[in-house]
Amino acid sequence: MRVSAERFEELAGQVVEELPAWVKQQMGNVHVAVEDRPPADQPGLLGLYEGVPLTMRGGQYSGPPDTITLYRTTIEREAATEAELVAALRHVVMHEVAHLMGISDQRLRDMGRY
């Protein structure tokens, strides 16, 4: 499902806005970005969290903003309809937020959430 870059960003913003309040509160130092394609060395990547997980921060953490990057072309390939695109975006955003919370890929697999 291909949509314009503007529509993709609008849908991504809606997904982030729909997160529970307690999650959004934890994302005060997180920038959500959209890029067209993932890095060349990771062509199937849907999203990426870059930063210091909350579980690794001290009480007065004042580091640079963390970033969650959503890769439009690979996420679009996961969907045949706009509703499926929103579901794919929701899955990727929650996955990357889990990394912000300090949950590893292995733990997500163990939980059946990978």
Encode pLDDT of 22-70 as tens digits: 999 999 889 999 999 999 999 999 999 999 999 988 777 778 899 999 9
Is the pLDDT at 114 greater than 70? The verdict is no
Neighbours of 9 (CB within 10 A): 16
**Which domain CATH number covers 9?**
3.30.2010.20
Residue ranges making up the domain that contains 86: 5-110
CB 97 within 8 A of CB 22: no
User: For all residues of the chain together, what is the average pLDDT?
Assistant: 93
Number of domains in the chain: 1
Q: What is the DSSP letter of 56?
A: G
Position 63 scores a pLDDT of: 80
Which pLDDT band holds residue 111 (cuts at 50, 70, 90)? confident
Residue 99: exposed, middle, or buried by beta-carbon count in 10 A (0-12, 13-18, 19+)?
buried
Is the pLDDT at 3 greater than 80? The verdict is yes
Q: Which residues make beta-bridge pairs with 67?
A: 31, 50
Position 68 scores a pLDDT of: 98
Distance separating alpha carbons of residues 2 and 6, to the nearest angstrom: 11
For the chain, give the percent of residues with pLDDT over 70. 98
What is the pTM assigned to this prediction?
A: 0.92
